Structure 1
Amino acid sequence: MARLLPILTSLLLAGSPLVVQAQETDTTLPHSGGHDGMDHGNMDHSQVDMPGMGMSGQDMKGMDHSAHAMPESTVSDEPGDAPPPAPPTDFPAERFFEPDRMAASRAAMIEEMTFRTFALQVDQLELRTGKGGDGFGWDGRAWYGGDIDRIVLASEGEGTFAERAERIELGAYWRHALDPWFNLQLGMRQDFRPDPQRTYALVGIEGLAPYWFDVQGQLLVSNKGDVHARGKASYTQRITQSLVVEPEAEVDFAFQDVPALNVGAGFERLEMGARLRYDHNRSLAPYVGVNWERRLGGTARIAQVAGEDVSGVSVVFGVRAMF
């Protein structure tokens, strides 16, 4: 019995379909140890028929394989200007709830998203010390409203201790969002200093310019008919999570001589500065910096005749607050 077992195993393997198929297959392709020695360059694929795909070798030979190349990507990282999609008119929740109830729910949600709030922001409240003596300066605003429309009360000024302030300005205007980046300003400004006082009609624009510059431009027409313009620009650069440096510049322009205010036509004043702020607590952030101011053009000549300084540099210590 032990001798018959090997004989029966050999007979079964010889009659197996796998063995017969292996014997009938032509394995005379030249090789020397696997596919490493196979010459694929000399193989004529035109002689190979693919009955399962309905293609012959001649069809494959004439096939344009470039049609199967990967198409070039049309995705761009540039923002587009396509119109927004239309608001939806079908709501899946209405399959389960009454349409009137769902309409009231959507209206309540939109009402909750419309906010009105009050805020106070003091960008600069500082002590200035320099060759001309110790002085002070401020720049801040309070506003009430939402993200589209606001009523703004803004003030800025400067002066020297033990003397009357050189500038005291108070403005009130309506701020309306033109787009996600810029806002329109319409209102008025009252100058309490220098004397004599002036009241101006104000129109301006403010917003975030490319490369993250905060810019503002205003055109002012006084109750006496003189026209002025002001431009501001600043940039906030974060050095660490808590340290922020903010350079800024402000320039005033007069369209005509205003002898009562000792202002000459043309560029009348340029102010530049840079402040390093510790912004760990944004509600109250101290800073230190430098501020430079210079009178220009005809305004500078008037100041020289009056014996006043044309320019001055001061070191500033102050605080920025938000409530």
Structure 2
Amino acid sequence: MISDFWDTQIGARYRSEKVELNDHRKDTEENVDAVIGLHGMAPYFFETDAYLYAGKDNYAGFSLETERDFLITQKLIIQPYLELDAIFSDDSKYAKKTGLSSATAGFETRYEISKKIMPYIDIAYEYSKGNDETSWQIESNSEKGWLYGAGVRFRF
């Protein structure tokens, strides 16, 4: 804890990603990265998780997740959120393009029947940057589009 509302975190992250190879086969890349982060919430503001990553093959990245609950009623809640991932460098054989890797902005609307049962509807817009061309993989283009979801969240 570094202040009343902010914590630092340190640890490791395991990544497993499916990649498409030059000969249209698929492979799985698995990595473990060191991570240092900041988690917290300014009073009455956005809850934030920001992390810096470092791994093998000169991998360096950053992720940011932020969200805020707006109470329409005591049980009806709208939660806008933003998730960003950036890659500063990646020299692996399955390298991602550097820069903003992915971004998702959306909002979730949920109704808390109780603190344990919460049905929700989620609408978001997502952008995902493609992969670099290497001797192991083909270059892929960026993808973007709308995401829709609905479900029930259970807490125990």
Asked if Structure 1 and Structure 2 have the same fold, meaning a TM-score greater than 0.5 normalized by the shorter chain, the answer is yes
Cα offset for 1:314? Answer: 1.9
Deviations 1:58-93 (A, max 9, x none): xxxxxxxxxxxxxxxxxxxxxxxxxxxxxxxxxxxx
Cα offset for 1:280? Answer: 2.7
| The one of 22, 35, 40 aligned to 1:202 | 35
Cα distance change on mapping 1:305 and 1:190 into 2, 3 Å: closer
The question of 1:292 aligning with 2:116 is answered no
Cα distance change on mapping 1:258 and 1:268 into 2, 3 Å: farther
Cα offset for 1:204? Answer: 0.1
1:48-197 → structure 2 map (5 Å cutoff): 177-194=1-18, 195-197=28-30
Cα distance change on mapping 1:282 and 1:257 into 2, 3 Å: same
Cα offset for 1:322? Answer: 2.3
Quick one: higher RCO (CA 8 Å, sep 6+), 1 or 2?
2
Cα offset for 1:262? Answer: 4.2
Is the CA contact 2:57–2:90 (under 8 Å) kept in the aligned structure 1? no
Cα distance change on mapping 1:321 and 1:241 into 2, 3 Å: same
Determine the structure 1 residue equivalent to 2:107. Answer: 274
Compare the two structures and name the one with the higher helix fraction. Answer: 1
Q: Which runs of 5+ in 1 are unaligned?
A: 1-176
Identity score, percent: 22
Distance in 2 of aligned mates of 1:236 and 1:260: 41
Distance in 2 of aligned mates of 1:288 and 1:258: 39
Deviations 1:147-198 (A, max 9, x none): xxxxxxxxxxxxxxxxxxxxxxxxxxxxxx2222011111111112243111
Determine the structure 1 residue equivalent to 2:25. Answer: none
Matched to 1:284, the amino acid is: I
TM-score when normalising by structure 2: 0.81
Tell me the secondary structure at the aligned position of residue 260 of structure 1: coil
Is the CA contact 2:95–2:132 (under 8 Å) kept in the aligned structure 1? no
Deviations 1:266-308 (A, max 9, x none): 1111111211001131112110121221024xx3786x953x6
Question: Rg: which structure is higher?
Answer: 1
Cα offset for 1:218? Answer: 0.2
Aligned pair count reads 143
Cα distance change on mapping 1:247 and 1:261 into 2, 3 Å: farther
Q: Which runs of 5+ in 2 are unaligned?
A: 19-27
